[in-house]
Amino acid sequence: MVNCEQLEAYRQLEEAALVGCWAHVRRKFFEATPKQADKSSLGAKGLAYCDQLFSLERDWEALPADERLQKRQEHLQPLLEDFFAWCRRQSVLSGSKLGRAIEYSLKYEETFKTILKDGHLVLSNNLAERAIKSLVMGRSKRVQWTLLA
Q: How far apart are CA 67 and CA 70, in angstroms?
A: 5
pLDDT tens by residue, 106-145: 999 999 999 999 999 999 865 444 444 464 455 555 555 5
- In angstroms, how far is the first alpha carbon of the chain from the final one? 42
Reported pTM: 0.76
Averaged over 66-83, what is the pLDDT?
98
- Which residues are within 8 A (CB) of 25 and not within 5 positions of it... i.e. 6 or more apart? 50, 101, 104, 105, 112
**Percent residues over pLDDT 90 in the chain:** 61
User: Which has the closest alpha carbon to 53: 81, 34, 32, 31?
Assistant: 81
Checking 89-95 for CB contacts under 8 A at 24+ apart, the result is: 90/42, 92/42
Q: Which residue stretches of the chain are H helix?
A: 22-31, 42-59, 65-71, 77-89, 97-107, 109-112, 126-148
Structural domain total, the chain:
1
Q: What 3-state DSSP class applies to 69?
A: helix
pLDDT tens by residue, 30-55: 999 988 878 888 999 999 999 999 99
Range of the domain at 54: 2-148
